[in-house]
Amino acid sequence: MDSQHWRAVITAAQSGDRQALDELVAGWLPLVYNIVGRALNGHADVDDVVQETMLRAVGNLGSLRDPDSFRSWLVAIAMRQIRDRARRRTADRLQEAPAADFAELTVLRLQLEGQRREVAEAVRWLDDEDRQLLSLWWLEVAGELTRRELADAVGITRQHAAVRVQRMKERLETSRGIVRALDGACPDLRELTGRWDGRPDSVWRKRLARHIRGCGYCGDTRESVVPAERLLVGIALVPLPAGFTLSLAFGGKTAAAATSAGWSAKLLGALTKPAVAMTAGATIVAGGAYVVTQPPDAPPPRAAVTPTATATTPGPPSPSAPPSAEPSPSPSTKADLYGTVVDAVDRAPAPDARPAALPRRPESGLTSTGGPKAVMQHRGDSVTFTGQGYVLVRWQISPKSRPGALVMPSWTGLKGKLFHVASGGWRRMDDPLPGAPNGYATGMGGPDIGWAVLPPGTQQMWQNEYFYLDGTVTLTQNERGCDYGLAVFPSSWEAVDKDINEGPDQGAIRYGLVRDTGTDSAPVPQYVTRATPADPATVPQRSRV
């Protein structure tokens, strides 16, 4: 940032220039958000801490003697609020899970890959104190802070800061090794983590680090490991997400009193605009709160379930539940328009129920950015298809590695038409597996290892799901919670037809299921949109395309 420019802006703001105050808040809010978000790893308290930091900074701006020290002064305020928040937490709140994992926001919004992604995800394994220090050190190596500002914010000397940063970096490297190992296929590690709940903590960090030190598989790094500081040099700030909510409270002031005290409407808009980055408007009510409202042209809200919704843990399906055939589209007095039919939650057909005839659609060929076969195992992995033809999405769920809620993959940037035409692979993922231990287990897990949990209302996937594309679309893996992988590649009508017609007499659990009506009334996938959101995991479950 241009120091001369900001010196002038700060001086003007201290003199009561509302336009300068607006610019000051809007310009420095992203820095505060990154510090607080990373220090708290996206905990629900991030909004409150960022809000309190900005309120205190604006309220005490007149006490700042040297405009050149504004950045270190602001960062110090943020760090005090972070520490105050830690002291205020009760024992119960210490066990709360993050509301929005900041490591994932970092990976997605900065499009980090490879070892840069590894560093961002390793932050989850640090203790609170290390994570607070890392929130500053990350910005130091990225060129947003100086070492002097880091030391001032923590309240220690530069020499002491150097020692603490070095110790934090050592624990960060250990955590990077854990992330790398968990991405691997070591059978001993998978057995070790069989009862892990998927939430990083210091106990599991020590257990996993001990395993890695003694494991030839996990400790064998075939790729040279680049130091974290070299990976983070020049990296941008994580932009404020569209879902970020920040409300202002004026400590008992009315809106009118707040405005007369120097809080201009434009300033308040700058503070809260990130919460409504797309289309929402805002208004100040008499109580002094900033309330997000929908603008007049916004679509009415729908009771759609997003991929980030949580669900209750499933148990074995009731043996008395009778199977039923796939429901057919509801009759209509006129031809259904494309996009008006979406998948409904259905029960599996009887194992010996043969599929209907599969309509044959034109195939001029598909190109895939993932090549002949794309394997997506990490959150943020994506593949784009272009052309006309069939696509196979093969599910591989790993609750033994980490059970929990499934955040479903999403189809974004759709141009043209996309249909869900068939399901196959000889089984649904919730079918009981023959010979499973303890009498019951499915592709969604079991009582010994935990369950993969679908968001409420989500169509149960089969081992193989088939789609037909006429245009272009991107499929993104949004894993968070239970581990899963997707093998995604172009297919053909012949391959789909063969798969769904191989049934129990070939040793499978059931025949496949045809969903295609042969017309535009065929179902479109859940979690599909023509938009290209910054975070594909925010695609609504039932979309109009």
Q: What are 512's two structure tokens?
A: 């496949």
Per-residue pLDDT at 258 exceeds 60: no
pLDDT tens digits, 202-250? 889 999 999 998 888 887 665 677 888 887 776 667 776 554 444 443 3
Position 506 scores a pLDDT of 74
Alpha-carbon Rg for the chain in angstroms: 26
The half-sphere exposure of 160 on its side-chain side, counting CA atoms within 13 A, is 8
Q: How confident is the model at residue 416 (pLDDT cuts 50, 70, 90)?
A: very high
Tell me the three state secondary structure of residue 48: helix
Mean pLDDT of 125-133: 89
* Residues 379 and 478: beta-carbon distance below 8 Å: yes
Please give the Cα distance from 193 to 154 (Å, whole number).
Answer: 36
- Which H/E stretch holds residue 80? helix 70-88
Position 121 scores a pLDDT of 84
Per-residue pLDDT at 312 exceeds 60: no
Beta-strand (E) ranges in 285-379? 290-293, 365-368, 374-376
Position 251 scores a pLDDT of 38
Residue with tokens 């769920």: 397
End-to-end CA distance of the chain: 42
Mean pLDDT of 461-481: 93
Q: Considering only residues 72 and 88, tell me which one the structure prediction assigns the higher pLDDT.
A: 72
Beta-strand (E) ranges in 399-491? 404-405, 410-428, 445-446, 450-453, 462-476, 483-491
How large a percentage of the chain has pLDDT more than 70? Answer: 73
Q: What are 214's two structure tokens?
A: 């003694």
Contacts of 511 (CB under 8 A, 6+ apart): 349, 351, 352, 353, 354, 355, 500, 501, 502, 503, 504
The half-sphere exposure of 266 on its side-chain side, counting CA atoms within 13 A, is 9
Q: Are strands 281-284 and 290-293 parallel, antiparallel or unpaired?
A: antiparallel
Please give the Cα distance from 208 to 252 (Å, whole number).
Answer: 50
